[in-house]
Amino acid sequence: MARIVALSPRLANQIAAGEVVERPASVAKELLENALDAGASRIELDVEQGGGKLIRVRDNGGGIGHEDLPLALNRHATSKILELEDLEAVSSLGFRGEALASISSVSRLSLTSRVVEADQGWQVQAEGRDMQAQISPAAHPVGTTVEVRDLFFNTPARRKFLRTEKTEFNHIEEVLRRQALSRFDVGFALRHNQRDIHSLRPAPTEMDRERRVAALCGSRFMENAVAIEAEASGVRLYGWVALPTFSRSQADLQYFFVNHRVIRDRLVAHAVRQAYRDVLYNNRHPAFVLYLSVDPANVDVNVHPTKHEVRFRDGRLVHDFIFRTLHKALAQVRPQDHMAQGQVGSQDFAVAEGGGGAGGSWQPQNTRPSPSEARDQMAFYRDLHQGAGQPVNQNGGQGQDMGQGSPVQDHSGTGGLARGHSPGATAFMEADLTPVTGDGEPPMGYAIAQLHGIYILSQSSRGLIMVDMHAAHERIVYERMKRALAAEGVRTQPLLVPQTLAVSQREADRAEQHREDLQRVGLVLDRMGPETLVIRQMPALLRNADSEQLVRDVLADLLQEGSSDRIAESTDDLLSTMACHGSVRANRRLTLPEMNALLRDMEATERSGQCNHGRPTWTLMSLQDLDKLFLRGQ
């Protein structure tokens, strides 16, 4: 065995650099966080050759005093914490005191700074070797400039693992994007090889913030985003979440900040995923930019060397708060909210900038009708809507089926479906047929035709609305069934022969700990031994399910997440299947009153923009979009 020796400062720094400095983007992150902690209101980031040749960060913060400059490059030297109590309530982004020392051990680093009280600036340099920092005077405005050149020049094994220049720069750009989203009060500039990439001014107003988010995340994200603002129990959540129809194939547009620190947290990811559970299409990922403000004493940011992970003191409270807030916000979105924000129900079409289109096809492009003109244009369809209970009058047009083949007449006098069709297809006829907008036009307009027995075509003053009638009715029936189940409560069914289940001691302990919670959702488990559970009752709706697999899945969730929504998810899946089979089918002929009743139900139903499987139920083609198709006004 070799003797125990103390590592040299250089080797110790290089080992620490293996944790802190993974690639050029890691350097940019640490330097940007230092600039923000210094109180800068303007930060400039210059990069050459993807960061391998140069990373320069200049800020106008408070600067570093002459006597403190040598300490800035020492390990475990920081101005952000002094005692253990400070570590328990960290409010700054950096505090370990390792970043500059680690970076200087694998690069040629120079730090120039000046404080307000000083007449001149000072510079300290280090070149990756064990040496005393040399300080010299330098001309510099108030603030700090850090230059990192030739990264990994003295550790070629690390340098050969760097990717292409473009890839490394993309990582640096992502770092700046996260910092710019976290601090709207700070201006940012990014240049690569002397070419301007981003120039972001401070965003003090809500409109300026939305513009910055649109510039960094794309205008389509903001067009399809719902603003979030909620506060409870000392925790505040705000930001933007995208509609389910603006989902992504990858989780590449998800930003979550805790006290302005960007994090990746499993608890947060689970809460967001649960909120989108029954509105997101298969294998799709939601998009969001969310901010959580919490007392620093209730969150531990000293979990990971790069501080990407945190640990909440009351994780259950944070999880439930995030889930409830997002779930409620997504449920409250109605078609009229899409219209008000210039949004649509599908990814395939977007309302052109400037709002809705022309008021009619005979008007010049980029003009908008007055409310009185819109009312006149919609008068014919309003009459159809109000006369839903009248028999078909082919001469006057009321009640006429505009689909293929002969009209379907309503002889019941109630506006219901024609005789001979399944009762499940009549559920949407219970809708309130009162227009909901001030000018008398419902948000979803009035039906004018049925296309191929699948789609409803509706006209509004904004343009043409196309509705997948089966998908829309499926969501309406599904939401009604969920409300009915919630009103009645979960009914349980005792097993004729209780089922014995062998589990681990940890699983048995967790089942015993959450026994009352499981009973509330209809699952009754008794512990018969250290590693034995007995299933005595199951939710009545899930009586045909695999009870053993369901219980094992629930216990696995309890161990990993501290909670489980398996039973609720299985119940919703069953209700979704029942709603799908009970909804109006394709090729079903509907009369105009029936189509209008379905549109009115969509306006009053939660999550009506997506079916139970996450597919969009409607989309809008504005008159501007139609004008472009036919080159009108050009």
Higher pLDDT, 6 or 384: 6
In terms of average pLDDT, the best of 58-62, 69-73, 128-132, 270-274 is 58-62
Q: So what's the pLDDT on residue 245?
A: 80
Task: Please say if the pLDDT value at position 366 is more than 50.
Answer: no
Task: Please say if the pLDDT value at position 387 is more than 50.
Answer: no
The two beta strands, 187-192 and 42-48, are parallel
Q: So what's the pLDDT on residue 96?
A: 67
CA-wise closest residue to 152 among 171, 132, 128 = 128
Tokens representing 420 are 């001979």
List the alpha helices (DSSP H) in 88-164.
Answer: 99-104, 156-159
Task: Please say if the pLDDT value at position 364 is more than 70.
Answer: no
- Residue 430, amino acid: E
The model's confidence at residue 93, banded by pLDDT at 50, 70 and 90, is confident
Tokens representing 515 are 């026994």
Task: Please say if the pLDDT value at position 289 is more than 60.
Answer: yes
**What is the rounded average pLDDT of the residues 212-219?**
95
Q: Distance (Å, rounded) from C-alpha 550 to C-alpha 525?
A: 12
Give the model confidence (pLDDT) of 143-166 as tens digits. 999 999 999 988 888 888 899 999
Q: So what's the pLDDT on residue 129?
A: 54
Beta bridge partners of residue 123, listed in sequence order: 112, 136
Between CA 327 and CA 175, with CA 209 as vertex, the angle to 5 degrees is 85
Q: Any idea which residue has 């944070």 for tokens?
A: 318
Task: Please say if the pLDDT value at position 54 is more than 90.
Answer: yes
The model's confidence at residue 425, banded by pLDDT at 50, 70 and 90, is very low
Mean residue pLDDT across the chain: 80
Higher pLDDT, 373 or 238: 238
**What is the rounded average pLDDT of the residues 192-221?**
95
Q: Distance (Å, rounded) from C-alpha 600 to C-alpha 537?
A: 41
CA atoms within 13 A on the CB side of 507: 17
Q: So what's the pLDDT on residue 382?
A: 54
Sign of CA dihedral 13, 15, 19, 23: positive
Number of H helices and E strands in the chain, helices first, is 21, 22
Q: Distance (Å, rounded) from C-alpha 451 to C-alpha 475?
A: 20
In terms of average pLDDT, the best of 283-297, 303-317, 342-356, 529-543 is 283-297
Task: Please say if the pLDDT value at position 392 is more than 90.
Answer: no
Contact 57, 45 (CB under 8 A): yes
> How long a stretch of residues is the chain?
634
CA-wise closest residue to 317 among 268, 281, 246 = 268
- Percent of the chain residues past pLDDT 70, beyond the cut: 80
Q: Which of 183-192, 483-492, 573-582 has the lowest mean pLDDT?
A: 573-582
Give the model confidence (pLDDT) of 493-551 as tens digits. 899 899 999 999 999 998 998 888 888 788 899 999 999 999 999 888 787 778 888 88
Exposure string of 390-428, with b = 16+ CB inside 10 Å and e = fewer, is bebeeeeebbbbbbeeeebebeeeebbbeeeeeeebebb
Contact 361, 569 (CB under 8 A): no
Task: Please say if the pLDDT value at position 409 is more than 60.
Answer: no
Contact 431, 597 (CB under 8 A): yes
Tell me, yes or no, if the pTM score tops 0.85.
no
Note the CATH architecture for domain 9-200: 2-Layer Sandwich (3.30)
**What is the rounded average pLDDT of the residues 546-572?**
80
Tokens representing 513 are 């700990």
Q: So what's the pLDDT on residue 306?
A: 65
Residue 426 to residues 392, 429, 454, 474, Cα–Cα distance (Å): 19, 6, 16, 12
Q: Distance (Å, rounded) from C-alpha 182 to C-alpha 175?
A: 11
**What is the rounded average pLDDT of the residues 559-564?**
73
Question: DSSP string covering 152-207, please?
Answer: TTT-HHHHTT---HHHHHHHHHHHHHHHHHH-TTSEEEEEETTEEEEEE----SHH
Q: Which of 80-84, 97-101, 197-201, 240-244 has the lowest mean pLDDT?
A: 80-84
Strand ranges inside 9-153, DSSP E: 42-48, 54-59, 108-114, 121-126, 134-138, 143-149
Strand ranges inside 280-336, DSSP E: 288-293, 299-300, 311-312
Contact 372, 562 (CB under 8 A): no
Q: So what's the pLDDT on residue 112?
A: 95
Q: So what's the pLDDT on residue 359?
A: 29
Q: Distance (Å, rounded) from C-alpha 172 to C-alpha 148?
A: 14
The model's confidence at residue 598, banded by pLDDT at 50, 70 and 90, is very high
**What is the rounded average pLDDT of the residues 378-397?**
44
Residue 321 to residues 117, 123, 231, 264, 308, Cα–Cα distance (Å): 46, 48, 9, 17, 21
Q: Distance (Å, rounded) from C-alpha 79 to C-alpha 45?
A: 23
Q: So what's the pLDDT on residue 491?
A: 80
What H or E segment, with its residue span, contains residue 139? Answer: none
Tokens representing 45 are 């980031």
Higher pLDDT, 359 or 437: 437
Task: Please say if the pLDDT value at position 582 is more than 90.
Answer: no
CA-wise closest residue to 448 among 437, 457, 461, 435 = 457
Q: So what's the pLDDT on residue 338?
A: 63
3-state secondary structure 329-392: HHHCCCHHHHHHHCCCCCCCCCCCCCCCCCCCCCCCCCCCCCHHHHHHHCHHHHHHHHCCCCCC
Give the model confidence (pLDDT) of 105-131 as tens digits. 889 999 999 999 999 999 998 876 555
- Residue 620, amino acid: L
Q: Distance (Å, rounded) from C-alpha 384 to C-alpha 446?
A: 8
What H or E segment, with its residue span, contains residue 573? Answer: helix 566-582
**What is the rounded average pLDDT of the residues 360-384?**
43
Give the model confidence (pLDDT) of 324-337 as tens digits. 999 999 888 877 66
Q: Where in the chain is the domain with CATH 3.30.565.10?
A: 9-200
Q: Distance (Å, rounded) from C-alpha 244 to C-alpha 159?
A: 42
Note the CATH architecture for domain 218-332: 2-Layer Sandwich (3.30)
Q: So what's the pLDDT on residue 339?
A: 64
CA-wise closest residue to 595 among 475, 481, 480, 459 = 459
Q: Distance (Å, rounded) from C-alpha 307 to C-alpha 301?
A: 6
Q: Distance (Å, rounded) from C-alpha 60 to C-alpha 35?
A: 8
**What is the rounded average pLDDT of the residues 12-19?**
74
Helix, strand and coil in the chain, % to nearest 5: 40, 20, 40
Task: Please say if the pLDDT value at position 410 is more than 70.
Answer: no
Q: So what's the pLDDT on residue 85?
A: 72
DSSP class of 296: G
